[in-house]
Amino acid sequence: MTPPTTSPASGPAPTWRSIVITGASGGIGQALASELAAPGVRIGLIGRDAARLEAAAGLCRAKGADVVLAAIDVRDAAAMAAFLAGFDADGPVDLLIANAGVTTGLGPGRAPEPAGQSRRLLEINYAGVLHTVEPLLGAMQARRAGHIVLVSSLAGIRALPDMPSYSASKAAVRAYGIALRGWLRPFGVTVSVVCPGFVTSPMSARHRGARPFEIGADAAATKIVRGLRARRASIAFPWPLLLGMRLGALLPPALSDWFMRPFAAEIEPDADSREK
């Protein structure tokens, strides 16, 4: 499998033949897998739920893709490194999508987030990105080819008051991606940071509050892949919400906090957080 030879800044749209996606068992991850699947494409799908991964694999195989499944928690650095090294050895990864993530928020009556949840989100949302990207950085740099995609959030641009830990973790992902972009550009490696708004998924269903401009996962995947084919460094949507978030980040603090009041929400805990 030959990685794209065009530079990250110009040239025809890339043709990816070896793809890895984390958080592929549902939501944006599954939709991206289906969007990118095609004959001659080999896709590594990583997620914690083997049954849901198999369902995602079925969608990809129906489109002619060769699929390799890995039921791995992105917090497991050793397992991630082993799978990625093996997958890359069988065909150099030319598109790596770090998408896995979870959310949490304030408790009922705007009580503090449950103890330990902030660290859990950092371990999954941010450390999980590191465990996805770091094993392949040296190989991509040496090959002078590849495309790394980090899925952040509009909450990484302007933090949501009811989701402090989620916002912080996604801001970290965004900052890391911006740094990678500047570092790896001279080596021919493209880096894109994706900042979606509300996307319909089991995760968003736990968001008890306004979800303005929410779109389906398939529509989000189409927007993301379109941006990736154009090698866009930043892919953020929907634009009205992006504009509002950018404005909110520039306003004086008191006015910015007032602007965010309509986004008040409670986040229903997920099954994994209830176990802790």
> 141-170: per-residue pLDDT in tens?
999 999 999 999 999 999 999 899 999 999
Which percentage of the chain shows pLDDT scores above 70? 90
Entry field: residues in the chain:
276
List the catalytic residue out of 87, 126, 166, 263: 166
Note the pLDDT of residue 206: 67
Catalytic residue flag (residue 166): yes
Helix (H, G, I), strand (E, B) or coil at 193: strand
Instruction: Give the domains, in start order, of the chain with CATH numbers.
Output: 18-102+115-274 (3.40.50.720)
Note the pLDDT of residue 6: 39
Q: Looking at per-residue confidence, does 255 or 78 come out higher?
A: 78
Closest CA to 197 of 186, 185, 207, 189: 207
Q: How confident is the model at residue 180 (pLDDT cuts 50, 70, 90)?
A: very high
| Tens of pLDDT, residues 93-126 | 999 999 999 988 887 888 888 888 889 999 999 9
C-alpha atoms less than 13 angstroms from C-alpha of 271 in its C-beta half-sphere: 3
> 66-103: string of b/e by CB count within 10 Å (b at 16+)?
bbebbbbbbeeeebbeebbeebbeebbbbbbbbbbbbb
Q: Looking at per-residue confidence, does 29 or 267 come out higher?
A: 29
Q: How confident is the model at residue 201 (pLDDT cuts 50, 70, 90)?
A: confident
Closest CA to 57 of 91, 19, 88: 19
Tokens standing for residue 146: 């590849």
